[in-house]
Amino acid sequence: WIGFHTKLSEVTLPFDDDQNGINDQVVIKFSHVVAENTPKGLAAQRFAKLVDEKSNGRIKVEVIPNGGLYSDQEELEALKRGDVQMIAPATTKLRTVSPKFQVLDLPYAMPNHESIIEALNGDIGKTLLRSIEKDNMRGLTFWTNGFKQITTNDGPIKKPSDLKGQTLRIMPSPVLEKQFQLAGAKAVGLDFNETYKLLESGELNGEENTISNIYSKKFFDVQSHLTFSNHGFLGYAVIMNEDFWKKLSKDEREILSESMKETTEWNQTHSFEMNKEQLRLIEKQSGIEINTLTDQERKIWSDQWEPVWKEFEEEIGTELMKKMKQLRA
Ligand code: LMR
């Protein structure tokens, strides 16, 4: 493919050891769909910087944000083909590769930051990354964004039935579709970067997303109500093209692994804080009405959505379900 070991110069110096690729540059195209000022956008940039420093500029990570190269529906296929070397799709979108990933979409599964980190860095995460080791993909790690909230133009939304008859944008996912169906709403799986204009035109009433995505894509400008519900998790699996990985030298792999480890630590500690800060910015910059669910109200949503756990148990697998139930308890 294009980009691998692109020659820096056509001129061969006398002491060049071209056999070992000393003068060659490795280019990694890293495509994602969100804005730059987000947990994923900043992590991707940080990773690129670390790789650049550690390799003295020999490995170059080109980050293409905002779906500038591929939409969320396209990027997975582009990675498998090797047209890009890295992506970090929302875990929800990996359901098509491994249905086990749906375990992370279960409503009110992980109650806090700590349980999310435990799930992703522990047994659940390991099982999930292994389950996508196919179709030329190599799962590297998980990055976090945060908890999802609900926005709409027909609020306030305090209890599930307040969503009755509304049409909402979700990431394509039977688990998410079922949740909103149980609340009497219609949820449609659409591309992330299509959302703003459909909210603006009124074709959609609302959507669910993290504060970071609601802020950076300005959904708050075209929505009247935000329900702070923390009802689900949004995070990412960072994936590399396997053929590309195999062609790298041991040193190159080490540089990438170290940089990824440092980036993941940074992302997993800062993403939640970032969502908090951006909530303050939304409060300051817009007139959107924010309703934070009380514990009692949250319990009503959680009870309403309980059937989702049962319905997807078989697809997800009992072992993973058992582990997730322990985290939830
Ligand atoms: C979405 O489609 O809402 C998210 O997956 C976007 C993202 O990558 O955070």
Nearest-CA residue for ligand 1 atom 5 is: 90
Reported as a single tens digit per residue, the pLDDT across 100-147 is 999 999 999 999 999 999 999 999 999 999 999 999 999 999 999 999
**pLDDT number for residue 10:** 37
CA of 34 to the centre of ligand 1 (A): 7
Given a cut of 70, is residue 250 above it in pLDDT? yes
Q: Which atom of ligand 1 is nearest to the CA of 192?
A: 2
* 292-327 per-position pLDDT tens digit: 999 999 999 999 999 999 999 999 999 999 999 999
The answer, yes or no, to whether any atom of ligand 1 lies below 6 A from the CB of 145, is: yes
- H helical segments located in the chain: 39-54, 72-81, 113-121, 123-131, 174-182, 195-201, 211-216, 242-247, 250-285, 295-304, 306-311, 313-316, 318-328
* Per-chain mean pLDDT for the chain: 93
How many CA atoms are closer than 13 Å to the CA of 283, on its beta-carbon side? 11
Taking the whole predicted model, whether its pTM rises above 0.95 is answered as no
Candidate of 38, 147, 170, 171 to mutate for ligand 1, largest count of ligand atoms within 8 Å of Cβ = 171
Going by alpha carbons, the residue nearest to atom 1 of ligand 1 is: 192
Determine the Cα angle at 140 with ends 138 and 146, to 5°.
Answer: 125
Task: Measure CA 177 to chain center.
Answer: 18
Output the CA 159–ligand 1 centroid distance in Å. 24
Determine contact, residues 276/210, Cβ cutoff 8 Å: no
What residue type is assigned to position 17 of the chain?
A: D
| Ligand 1 nearest-atom number relative to CA 38 | 9
Q: Residue 1 above 80 pLDDT? A: no
The Cα 238–Cα 32 span in angstroms is 10
Q: Which atom of ligand 1 is found nearest the CA of 72?
A: 2
Look at residue 71 in the predicted model and tell me its pLDDT.
94
33 CA from centroid of ligand 1 (Å): 7
